[in-house]
Chain A
């Protein structure tokens, strides 16, 4: 194993049900995430992206195969790995303010005193543009703002790897573009390795250094497409670059081939 590999999936397999009802979901998933990378995982709908993410996060066990995080096999959620879930309206605790929700993630972190945690939470909330909203409760915030609190919470645990499970699937289009840039900016600023699971091909390519394309179910890795667009991205310029269009084309073509197979 190469030194800079932070997360590794080795021949992950998982099926639901038994006997004749047995339905294989993951059928041998292999890939690596290197430290400092922003990796997108994209695949046709219903291809078991969530199942994969749960296994990567240590929230469920694969039937066979192994997830290795910093070289150690993952059997339960490991320290140093944070998850931002899609369903922000349920993932934040309604009885806690935005600040308290962020502080909730500071369990194994350097901030020990109440004041240190508070300051750190406020710093992170400012980083996601919610400086003024630290005292607000999640239900007083819009969907996009709630997801930004959840992202701040993800950053608060000072993890080596942030797993993002379709974090922008439920926010409106304009907010989504803003939040893509916000996440990219935060990833750089906090030197955060990220793995983004998404169904949106453009988003996958726009955000990532590498796109992992999944096949349809039973799912394996169809192909990995490197995206050489540098770390700085721009909603207009990046999306017009030949490199972007080329990568997008390749991903799209691959996913479309699965769709037509399903239709046929």
Chain B
């Protein structure tokens, strides 16, 4: 059975349509080749589709690897630093310093050690993703309630078990926030790193298009990058709904 649609259900589709319409009108009213309309961009997407997919694939592969490396290191580290107060306090200023450092600033340093290939880009992506992941995990692990830890101790859980079975699940909602920030940072830095260290990837594609005054092609690339962001965000939300429903529902009930 198909549920009846309310006008509000169409709102998310309506706005992009309006934007495209205004864009088409604006493009039609000027003859500049530097301002292509939606039709031109659609054409460019058609022509460049396979190239865009391949380049985007290269970019996303690095994003996934970089993100996975960052998460594998920072989540356990953040939980541990939060638990071991003194060591956590030692690291806090370092974390604060790294948090304000724009990831592209480390490009020259990374190049020195990792060259300009995949390793360099993955390093940068991992660095960019690591900061929000580490900060959020650390903060969650540090501020979590004493009671849960008393329960864990009275049930004779080891420190490691407590981190795995109590601290980690309790920190998940904040880690999820970190994940969202980290994914955004990873996407940003992946494209930036490609433009700076050109070899392959969607960033390189964008630059080539721009160098050849293929504005429509560039817009086509940008369209797919934002589409990727949208898809990733939707996926994260779906995961949160599946794994963190207890957090959001408990919060609702507390109201």
Contacts and interface: CB of A to CB of B under 8 A. Distances in A.
Given A77-B153, A77-B156, A95-B169, A90 B145 contact: yes
Interface stretch (B76-84, B108-116, B198-206, B242-250): B242-250
Interface stretch (A27-35, A81-89, A122-130, A240-248): A81-89
Contacts of B153: 59, 76-77
Contacts of B145: 90
Contacts of A91: 147-148, 150-151
A133 interface: no
B154 A107 contact: no
Interface string B72-107: 000000000000000000000000000000000000
A75 B165 CA distance: 24
B147 A87 contact: yes
Given A93-B166, A95-B169, A140-B253, A57 B154 contact: yes
B249 A139 contact: yes
Interface in A72-122: 76-77, 79, 81-83, 85, 87, 90-91, 93-95, 104-105, 107-108
Given A85-B147, A90-B145, A140-B253, A95 B246 contact: yes
B154 A137 contact: no
Given A90-B147, A91-B147, A95-B169, A139 B254 contact: yes
Contact of B247 (A87, A90, A94): A94
A9 to B, nearest CB: 18
B8 interface: no
Interface in A21-46: none
Interface SS majority for chain A: loop
A193 interface: no
Contacts of A76: 153, 156
Interface string A53-82: 000011100000000000000001101011
A93 B148 contact: yes
A76 B246 CA distance: 32
B17 interface: no
A91 B155 CA distance: 12
A107 B247 contact: no
Given A85-B147, A91-B147, A139 B246 contact: yes
Interface residues of B, number: 21
Nearest to A163: B154
A93 B250 CA distance: 11
B246 A107 contact: no
B148 A157 contact: no
A79 B147 CA distance: 19
Interface in B136-151: 145, 147-148, 150-151
Contacts of A58: 154
Interface string B226-255: 000000000000000000001101100110
Given A87-B147, A93-B166, A82 B246 contact: no
Given A137-B250, A140-B253, A90 B148 contact: yes
A125 B229 CA distance: 46
A93 B150 CA distance: 12
Interface in B162-191: 165-166, 169-170, 172
Nearest to A137: B246
B151 A85 contact: yes
Contacts of A93: 148, 151, 166, 169-170
Contacts of B165: 104
B148 A82 contact: no
A85 B150 contact: yes
Given A77-B153, A91-B151, 10 more contacts: A59-B154, A77-B155, A85-B147, A91-B150, A93-B170, A104-B165, A139-B250, A139-B253, A139-B254, A140-B253
Per CB-CB distance, the 5 closest pairs between chain A and chain B, nearest first, are A90-B147, A139-B250, A83-B154, A95-B246, A77-B154
20 contacts: A57-B154, A59-B150, A76-B156, A83-B150, A83-B154, A85-B147, A85-B150, A90-B147, A91-B151, A93-B151, A93-B170, A94-B246, A95-B172, A104-B155, A105-B155, A107-B155, A107-B156, A108-B156, A138-B250, A139-B254
Interface of A: 57-59, 76-77, 79, 81-83, 85, 87, 90-91, 93-95, 104-105, 107-108, 137-140, 157
Interface of B: 145, 147-148, 150-151, 153-157, 165-166, 169-170, 172, 246-247, 249-250, 253-254
